[in-house]
Amino acid sequence: MPVDDVTVRRPTLTQVAALAGVSLKTASRALNQEPNVAPSTGRRVRDAADLLGYRLNGIARELRRGATSALVGLVSGDLTNPFYSAVASGIERELRQHGLLLITANNDEDAMLERSLVDAFLERRVRALLVIPSADDHEYLAIEGNRGVPFVFLDRPPDGLSADAVLIDNAGGARSAGEHLLGAGHRRIALVSDLVRMAPQRARIDGFVGAMRAAGNDAWEPFLRTGVHDVRQAERTVRDLLALDQPPTAVFTTNNRLTTGALRAMRELADPPALIGFDDFDLADVLGTTVVAHDMTALGREAARLAYERISGHSGPARTIVISTSIIARGSGERPPR
């Protein structure tokens, strides 16, 4: 019965005004709780609006008010990665406090796509843009920087422009992981890391290597693996490491995906090597996995705060917030060398 293939045009404020028998502007005032509206007039307008199923057209309002929306954009990796979704959740919660909405888009780890998503967001006139960049070169954003759209970088420092950023203490966390394993007596420690084109990965490697150097240990060097990018690759890499004649006695994985792979590789081992993973994860307690933890939701929240301050008119030099890390010992990182 319902004729719903005809796109029914939504009623406009003009129609509401007409039905209520007032002028356009009066209807606007009434619906926006502005002063100087007689109570009876207000009621008439609201009734008319209800009757017609009127809903404010935010697009028209935004255009008139200055062509800037109530939207904040986030460009990040796939939300099925718990790291990104935790960050997104932190951002979203903070933005909501201020009546802002979050638009998300997945860069698929592709620099070109990332650029076009940024473009799309800027065309939509987002109030601020949060980016967990896949690419390392952010110079193309510099043009936009001083045009009133605040940028905030998450997890990766801006390169080629100056902008607010919220980072994790990657080097510090990785260093303490290294020290933790050295403290348990390990020397032959494998380092399984992701693509080195990502700055956080480089920092984690540097931190780990720093700890080894400081301890005068170089027995880890044959066990350095980089460019390991997904769970399966990580599983295979760890399997291969453990099959060596002189296998490592401990493994440090530099993100949650790699840790998952390592756990799969070690699943059926009676006497597994020690393991520490960067990034905490959901069932780490049940699995007894020692991790370098950090507050991912706080990372998002702080980034949203910085963005909001800029939106609210704060100007000044770019700020960087660093989220601290801590080792959570759950057993796997405390296993002694065999």
Residues lying near a copy of itself in the complex (CB under 8 A)? 2-5, 7-10, 53, 55-60, 62-63, 67, 69-71, 78-80, 82, 85-86, 88-89, 92-93, 96, 101-106, 119-120, 122-125, 143-148, 260, 263-264, 267, 281-283, 285-287, 297, 313, 315
Is residue 43 within the footprint of DNA (CB under 7 A)? Answer: no
Residue 317 interacting entry, from a copy of itself, DNA, none, C-beta within 5 to 8 Å by type: none
Question: Measured between alpha carbons, how far is residue 29 from residues 10, 18, 57, 124 in Å?
Answer: 20, 14, 15, 27
Distance, CA of 335 to CA of 116 (rounded, Å): 47
Nearer to DNA by Cβ, of 60 and 244: the residue is 60
32 binds, among a copy of itself, DNA, none (CB under 5 to 8 A by kind): DNA
Q: Which is nearer to a copy of itself, 2 or 216 (CB)?
A: 2
- Residue 105 and residue 69: Cα distance in Å, rounded? 17
Please list every residue from 11 through 30 that binds DNA, using CB under 7 A: 12-14, 22-26, 28-29
d(CA 236, CA 183): 27
Is there binding between residue 126 and DNA (CB under 7 A)?
Answer: no
Strand pairing report for 71-76 and 128-131: parallel
How many Cα atoms are found within 13 Å in the side-chain-facing hemisphere of 201?
21
- Whole-angstrom distance, CA of residue 221 vs CA of residue 210: 12
Under DSSP, is residue 118 helix (H, G, I), strand (E, B) or coil? helix
Helix (H, G, I), strand (E, B) or coil at 334: helix
* 57 contacts DNA (rule: CB under 7 A): yes
Residues contributing to the site for DNA (CB under 7 A): 9-10, 12-14, 22-26, 28-29, 31-32, 35-38, 41, 54, 56-57, 60-61, 63-65, 67
